Amino acid sequence: MGEKGTVWLPEGVSTLAPEIDSLFYFVFWVSVVLFLGVVSTMAYLAFRYRRRSPREIPAPVKESTLLEVAWVTVPVILVLIVFNWGFKSFIALGVAPPDTYDIQVRGRQWLWEFEYPNGTIATNELRVPVDRPVRLIMSSTDVIHSFYVPVFRVKQDVVPNRYTNVWFEATRTGEFDLFCTEYCGTQHSGMLAKVIVLSQGEFDAWVESGGGDLENLPLPEYGAMLYQQQACFTCHSTDGSVTIGPSFQGLFGSQRQLANGQTVVADENYIRESILDPQAKLVQGFPPVMPASYSALNERQVSALIAFIQEQQ
């Protein structure tokens, strides 16, 4: 297996990957051998014992004890090997070593939020140190999501009202895909994130910096950052295309036709209310699917988003 992985599996970038992969390939090759063996024997026998004339009557078949014992014991042995191997890997995946670095993960419609021990929070970018076991303590603020990083060979449901966890130890630095693999609503397929594996030094510096000093940016730039971070882009475009929600292009100052028949002007107060209480003034033609979770944004963040929307003309 090279750096790029194979047709069957992507590159493995965690300490557990070789174990998972060898089990996968064992099951795979056993299946290939059995499949070819069964199908070719079947084809051969069908040809060998084909009916040669309409009046041909075959001799009675006598069972072979040896054959019957073989086709019971060989599969049982194979299944026990796979069970034993799989159970060991399952335990290794499930039980984290004692000295892990812990990160809190929150899934919500439709983004991932990561919180580090010193309070640093990041969205849709999970930074972890290389060569160090990392444990994720995961929860959901709404529906069931699933945390999946193919190169680490870890996948775990993220559910409301309880914690689940995974652990992994990355074996090289780089940037890798993180997917949500549980259907969680209209923008499930857009719930994409990155895992960024850094050297211990780079990682420490990043965590110490609090993930970059966003608070001091000018409002429109801070808003642009929040537009990405809070995953507004999954539902609201800035180029006029209509997806789940209205596009931000030309939104500010325009007349909005509401579902209840009224018309309002999209000024600062209207946008503020629509962020904090999305169902208060629903625009005609759009479903009431915006999560209420944005009410957790602080005043400066709301102002920043309004300033950003104002610029999308």
106 binds ligand CUA (CB under 6 A): no
Question: How many contiguous H segments (helices) and E segments (strands) does the chain have?
Answer: 6, 12
Q: Annotate each residue in 46-85 with x if it binds ligand CUA (CB under 6 A) or - if it does not, as one string.
A: ----------------------------------------
Number of residues that bind ligand CUA (CB under 6 A): 9
Smaller CB separation from ligand CUA, 180 or 306: 180
Q: Near ligand CUA by CB under 6 A, which window of 29-37, 60-68, 169-177, 184-192?
A: 184-192
Contacts of residue 204, defined as CB under 8 A and 6 or more positions apart, other chains included, come to 129
Start-end of H helices in the chain? 17-48, 65-94, 200-208, 219-229, 268-276, 299-311
3-state secondary structure at position 293: helix
Q: Near ligand CUA by CB under 6 A, which window of 56-64, 178-186, 207-215, 235-243?
A: 178-186
Residue 199 to residue 149: CA distance in whole angstroms: 19
Look at the chain and count its residues: 313
Residue 17 to residue 39: CA distance in whole angstroms: 32
Residue choice 107, 133, 246, 278 for contact with ligand CUA (CB under 6 A): 107
Q: Near ligand CUA by CB under 6 A, which window of 183-191, 205-213, 232-240, 283-291?
A: 183-191
306 binds ligand CUA (CB under 6 A): no
List the interface residues with ligand CUA, window 139-168 (CB under 6 A).
145
Residue choice 182, 196, 275, 304 for contact with ligand CUA (CB under 6 A): 182
Per DSSP, 133 falls in state E
Residue choice 188, 245, 266, 274 for contact with ligand CUA (CB under 6 A): 188
Residue 82 to residue 98: CA distance in whole angstroms: 28
